[in-house]
Structure 1
Amino acid sequence: MSIINSQVKPFKATAYHNGNFVQVSEADLKGKWSVVVFYPADFTFVCPTELGDLADYYDEFKKLGVEIYGVSTDTHFTHKAWHDTSDTIKKVNYPLVGDPTATLARNFDVLIEEEGLALRGTFVINPEGEIKLCEIHDNGIGRDASELLRKVQAAQYVASHPGEVCPAKWTPGAETLAPSLDLVGKI
C-alpha cells in the first residue's frame, strides 16, 4: 500500500528548536503544510549540506505557511550538541526531531533496521495530515531545497485549484493543465 494520501501515524518525540527542547507529535503536523526530512545521522557528511541548504530556504518555506522538521535517529541532546558545534547547523531554525526509538523512521518506512539509521526521506504533508509527496533517496544522494520548495508550491497549487495539475518543471505563474478527453494525445 502506498504512503501517498495516507494519514501521518501517531507519534510523540522531542526536538531541539530555537535553543529549547520541545515536544512534537502528529498533531503539530496538522493545520498547516509540513515537510518532514529524514537524514541518517548528525555529525556526518552529506546531512549538514542538506540541512544547511534547507536553512537557507527556510524563510521561503515559512512564507508559504510551511514548517520543516528535520528527523534522525539521534537524540535531541545530540541535535543540540551538533547545533552548538557546527557553523552550518547553527543556521538551522526549524525543529530537529530526535527519533532514538526509530518510531518515526518506521512510521514513514525509511528505517534501515540493521543500521538503526534512516534513509534520506522527504515527505510533504497537507494541513489535513495527509502525505502528498514522498521521495526516498539512497544515503549517498543529497537533496536540493530549491526543488523541494517548487514541489511544495505545486502541491499547494493543486490543492487549491481542483481540476488542474502541474506539468514537469512547473513554477508559480506558469501554465497548468486541466486533464480532459480533449488533451489526450495532444501534449
Structure 2
Amino acid sequence: MLTVGDKLPAFSLKAVYDTSIPEPDFKTLASSSDELAGKWLVLFYWPKDFTFVCPTEIVAFDDLADDFKDRDAVVLGASTDTDFVHRAWRESHEDLQKVTIPWLADNKKELASALGILDKEEGVALRATFLVDPDGIIRHVSVNDLSVGRNPKEVMRILDALQTDELCPCNWQQGDEVLKPAA
C-alpha cells in the first residue's frame, strides 16, 4: 500500500457529479485537471455501492465539502463500481441524492490497485482515505476494516494540522497552540 511520502498515482477516471439533472452527468476527471491543480486532495474509497456503512460516510464527507473547500481541498469519493452503478445508487438512495462531491468510478481497479488498497478476500477497495498535498504527495493515509466507518471530522482535523507545517500534539484542534521545540 502506498503511504506517507509517496506520490499519488496519476489517474483519469469517469466521475459522477450531479444527479439532479435528467441526463447522466459523467465527466472524466484526471489528476492533472484544472479542477484539482494546486489543491489538497481528500480521496476516500468505499468498498461498494448499495451497501449500508458507505452512505453514512459519503454523506458525512459531503456535509463537510464546503469546509474542506475553505481549506483549498477537493473531496473525491471512489469505489470500484461503474459510473452507471454510482448514478443508480445516487438516484435511488434519498440521502445520496443531495450529495455534491464527485464519485470516481474505478471499475478497472487501476487506481485502487496502484494505491494497494484492494481487499485480498473480496477484491473491492478497502475503506481507505488519503490526504494529498498540492504537489501530489500523500501526507496521510488511514484504512478501516470493511465493517467500520471513518470519521470525516478527524480527516479535517488532520488536514488542518498538516496545513500548519508545525508540530501538532495529540488531539490538536485548529486554533490550538502548536509545539515549539526548545532552541
Instruction: Give the TM-score, by structure 1 length.
Output: 0.88
1:2 deviates by 5.6
Partner of 1:24: 29
Map 1:1-187; keep pairs closer than 5 Å.
3-19=3-19, 20-28=25-33, 29-158=36-165, 164-180=166-182
Q: Deviations over 1:99-144 (max 9, x none)?
A: 1111111111111244220000000000001000000111111111
Q: Could you tell me how far apart the structure 1 residues matched to 2:56 and 2:2 are?
A: 29
SS in 2 for 1:134: strand
CA RMSD of aligned residues (A): 1.6
Partner of 2:22: none
Partner of 1:161: none
Larger relative helix fraction: 1
Q: Percentage identity across aligned positions?
A: 37
Give the gaps of 5 or more residues in structure 2: 20-24
What is the letter of the counterpart of residue 48 of structure 1?
A: P
Change (3 A) 1:82 1:7: same
Q: Deviations over 1:41-97 (max 9, x none)?
A: 011010001101111111111111111110100001111111111111112111100
Q: Which has the greater radius of gyration?
A: 1
1:149 deviates by 1.1
Q: Could you tell me how far apart the structure 2 residues matched to 1:110 and 1:79 are?
A: 20
What is the letter of the counterpart of residue 31 of structure 2?
A: E
Instruction: Give the TM-score, by structure 2 length.
Output: 0.90
Determine if contact 2:117/2:128 at 8 Å carries over to the other structure: yes
SS in 2 for 1:10: coil
Determine if contact 1:5/1:130 at 8 Å carries over to the other structure: yes
Q: Could you tell me how far apart the structure 1 residues matched to 2:2 and 2:125 are?
A: 19
Give the gaps of 5 or more residues in structure 1: 159-163, 183-187
Q: Could you tell me how far apart the structure 1 residues matched to 2:4 and 2:154 are?
A: 19
